[in-house]
Amino acid sequence: AKRLEGKTIVVTGASSGIGKSTAMEFARTSPKSLKLILTARRIDTLKQVAEQIEKEFGSGVQVLPVKLDISKPSEVKGFVNSLPAEFKEIDVLVNNAGLVKGTAKAPDILEEDIEVMMATNVTGLINMTQAIMPIFKKREDGGRGDIINIGSIAGREGYPGGSIYCATKAAVRTFTDALRRELIATRIRVMEVDPGQVETEFSVVRFYGDKAKADAVYAGCEPLTPDDIAEVVVFNAGRRENVVVADTLIFPNHQAGTGGAVYKK
Ligand code: NDP
Ligand code: 8X3
């Protein structure tokens, strides 16, 4: 906890689910002194998250909500420059924003769904990483800072009806692995956290807002909560500088893989 004190932390996709829980967990761990930059498209929801954090943890945690669509390269390019000076010295980037759309199988997958998943989960994550890295690289010993990418079990095993989403998360995994190798001579830590099933707005987004269909995904099983993942993200960020929790896979008890590998009562 002491190790995170005074840090400036960016969480993408902090308006909901794992990102929101991660922001809350960082605040809980370091309430005395922390700067949180929370980003997503829904600025009103982000402002509510910021208010909730300030109310629960007090003025030691400074929260800056920023409206940012990571699928738009121009918005990502302007992001760092738009930050007030006291929020510019970023220490930790949590690349969490991401989504799945639909359950269609090839050749019936909607072009717009393919595009939004690729532009957000892959290009958006890469662009965010490239936008922040110059801040890390200016520091001593070739650079310092943490990059924590949220992948998925879906990046390790494909499943029918999830091919594009799985491909995006496989891309995250390979990008993360290559980046860690590129930064081997620096103090920059590159980490991946891969959740299994977590109940968030993820499935509501997948089914284009159909809550009943989303609920059916979790019927008869007990998914993880976003707090379960947040605890791991914050634990990883809080390790001693020479410790890199490079890769984490987290399942609920009933799960041992994607799709068919979920046990239902
Ligand atoms: P949620 O839908 O609850 O949250 C997704 C977050 O991403 C929201 O805050 C959303 O904010 C943000 N987001 C989506 N698109 C964009 C964009 N273009 N620009 C900026 N922010 C965006 O889902 P989860 O919390 O479950 O998802 C978080 C991450 O976890 C994702 O990367 C997901 O793939 C991954 N994951 C989820 C699993 C699960 O079972 N739930 C399992 C494994 C991985 P807004 O809409 O306001 O922009
Ligand atoms: C989502 C993982 O297995 O619930 O990222 O589809 S799974």
Closest CA to 25 of 1, 59, 8, 58: 1
Residue 28: both structure tokens together:
């809980």
Tokens 């089914």, located at residue: 207
pLDDT surpasses 60 at 179 = yes
Strands (E), 54-186: 61-67, 92-95, 144-150
> What is the residue range of 58's domain?
2-261
Contact in structure between 29 and 2 (CB atoms under 8 Å): no
- Confidence at residue 111, expressed as pLDDT on a 0 to 100 scale: 98
pLDDT-wise least confident of 122-126, 191-195, 202-206, 255-259: 255-259
**In whole numbers, what is the pLDDT of the chain averaged over residues?**
96
Ramachandran bin of 213, using left for φ above 0, alpha for ψ from -120 to 50, beta for the remaining angles: alpha
Active site residues: 165, 169
How many domains does the chain divide into? 1
Rounded average pLDDT over 113-121: 98
Size of the chain in residues: 265
d(CA 121, CA 112): 14
- Confidence at residue 260, expressed as pLDDT on a 0 to 100 scale: 54
**What is the β-pairing status of strands 247-250 and 92-95?**
unpaired
Above pLDDT 70, what percent of the chain? 97
Q: For 208-260, how does the pLDDT look when each residue is reduced to its tens digit (9 = 90+)?
A: 999 999 999 999 889 999 999 999 999 999 999 999 999 999 999 999 998 65
- Asked if residue 196 has its Cβ within 6 Å of ligand 2, the reply is yes
Contact in structure between 125 and 95 (CB atoms under 8 Å): yes
DSSP H or E stretch at residue 120: none
Q: For 125-145, how does the pLDDT look when each residue is reduced to its tens digit (9 = 90+)?
A: 999 999 999 999 999 999 999
Rounded average pLDDT over 193-207: 97
**What ipTM, to 2 d.p.?**
0.97
Closest CA to 195 of 56, 17, 16: 17
Output the CA 185–ligand 1 centroid distance in Å.
Answer: 32
Residue 42: both structure tokens together:
């829904």
Closest CA to 26 of 236, 192, 195, 218: 236
Output the CA 13–ligand 1 centroid distance in Å.
Answer: 6
Rounded average pLDDT over 9-23: 98
- Asked if residue 258 has its Cβ within 6 Å of ligand 2, the reply is yes
Output the CA 183–ligand 2 centroid distance in Å.
Answer: 29
- CATH number of the domain where residue 44 is located: 3.40.50.720
- Confidence at residue 1, expressed as pLDDT on a 0 to 100 scale: 62
